[in-house]
Structure 1
Amino acid sequence: MRKSREEAVETRKRIVSAAARQFRKNGIVATGLNDLMKAAGLTHGGFYKHFESKDQLVAEACAEAVDGLIEMMAGQPTFPAAVAAYLSTQHRDNPDAGCPLAAIGSELSRCEGETRQAATEGFERLVTLLAEKSGAEDARRRALAAASMMIGAVTMSRIVTDPKLSTEILHEVEKALAEG
């Protein structure tokens, strides 16, 4: 039986959401089509009914992941609160639900143009949100530096093996950004 258009749209959304989680959790290269289709509750065979390539899915998954990040940070009342939410141990400990730039940034840099464009647009959205929350005279400059420091801090806090150092990285970057 053929699916309705509405069902196809919902299935595609389910695949993109599952892929966004799986890519951030396991990495782009380490996540095979079988894995992500299984995570979406589907079989591998249906993938190409919805996407031309894995690259297309990566771009859409990156955009969806950024949407979630922006929504979470937009809900923070101030620049310091947004920074604190991003630099939280909860964000660090849950890469599958966090910022794709911190979780898979090095892989995104090696992707095709469509995916890199989605990552670029996501970074710009993060910078714009931080600039708006900053309200400083030099808001864009401050937001560019803050976004870059935040992404780097979360990345490094996930890399290091010492839990105390991991938490220290997050706290020190948060403190540095608060001092402005």
Structure 2
Amino acid sequence: MRYGPEHKGEVHQKIVKDGSRRVRTEGITGAAVSAVMRDAGLTHGGFYKHFGSKDELLMESVCEAFREMSDSLVEAGERSQPGTAWKAIVKAYLSVEHCDHAEDGYPLTALAPELARADKAMKAPMLGELVKYKNRMLPFMPGRRTADKERAFFSIFSTMIGTVEIARMLPEPAMREKVLASAREFLLRSF
């Protein structure tokens, strides 16, 4: 059976999306190529038709995770009332749904410790993704000047990342919700 010219691109994107979910769930070292390919309905042997290495798949998967999450938070911000977009973002990020579904969440929440130990070759592109992410979030952040918005971004997102990491470690749903609610209330009062 012959496939159209767009088929390879569609398959490639499916592999990246599946890899993105798997890397957020299992971490950088846990996302095996064979499992990602199986998730995409393909054999391990077809991997090199799409990627030069596992690192290439990993980078594209993490970039996809940043894009998916920023799209979701931008949508939450755009649906809110003027001046309250950052609050909508905080509420969406610090929700039980986000906490309970790492596969759909922010990549730094799932991968920060691993990325901190990654080699320089991986850190440079991750910095680029973080800068793009920050730039997409900046218009929604509280503050009048860009410098104020950047400070708010780093304070808000660092707090949210750490909160979700801690909440995900807790065994009881009530405990997770208490941690999320505490951080949500703190951030909403702080800016």
Gaps of 5+ in 2: none
Q: How far has the Cα of 1:179 moved from its partner?
A: 1.5
Residue 110 (structure 1) aligned to one of 108, 112, 117: 117
Which residue does 1:171 correspond to in 2? 181
CA RMSD of aligned residues (A): 1.9
Relative to structure 1, the CA distance from residue 50 to residue 113 in structure 2 (aligned partners, 3 Å threshold; closer, same or farther) is: farther
Which residue does 2:91 correspond to in 1? 84
* Alignment of structure 1 residues 153-172 onto 2, 5 Å: 153-172=163-182
Which residue does 2:12 correspond to in 1? 12
8 Å contact from structure 1 (residues 62, 118) kept in 2: no
8 Å contact from structure 1 (residues 28, 104) kept in 2: yes
Q: How far has the Cα of 1:4 moved from its partner?
A: 5.1
Deviation by residue 1:92-134 (Cα, 9 ceiling, x = unmatched): 1111111111112222223344543343233323433443112
Deviation by residue 1:44-79 (Cα, 9 ceiling, x = unmatched): 001111111111111100111111101110012211
Q: How far has the Cα of 1:31 moved from its partner?
A: 1.9
Residue 158 (structure 2) aligned to one of 139, 148, 158: 148
Mapped to 2, the partners of 1:172 and 1:30 lie a distance apart of 31
Q: Secondary structure at the match of 1:30?
A: coil
Which residue does 1:100 correspond to in 2? 107
Greater Cα shift, 109-118 or 20-29: 109-118
Q: How far has the Cα of 1:164 moved from its partner?
A: 2.5
Mapped to 2, the partners of 1:16 and 1:97 lie a distance apart of 13
Mapped to 2, the partners of 1:30 and 1:132 lie a distance apart of 35
Mapped to 2, the partners of 1:73 and 1:146 lie a distance apart of 13
* Dislocated runs of 4+, deviation >6 Å: none
Q: Secondary structure at the match of 2:52?
A: coil
Is 2:138 aligned against 1:128?
Answer: no
8 Å contact from structure 2 (residues 142, 152) kept in 1: no
Q: Secondary structure at the match of 2:30?
A: coil
**Total equivalences in the alignment:** 180
8 Å contact from structure 1 (residues 88, 170) kept in 2: yes
TM-score (norm 2): 0.86
Is 2:55 aligned against 1:55?
Answer: yes
Q: Secondary structure at the match of 2:6?
A: helix
| Residue type at the aligned position of 1:58 | L
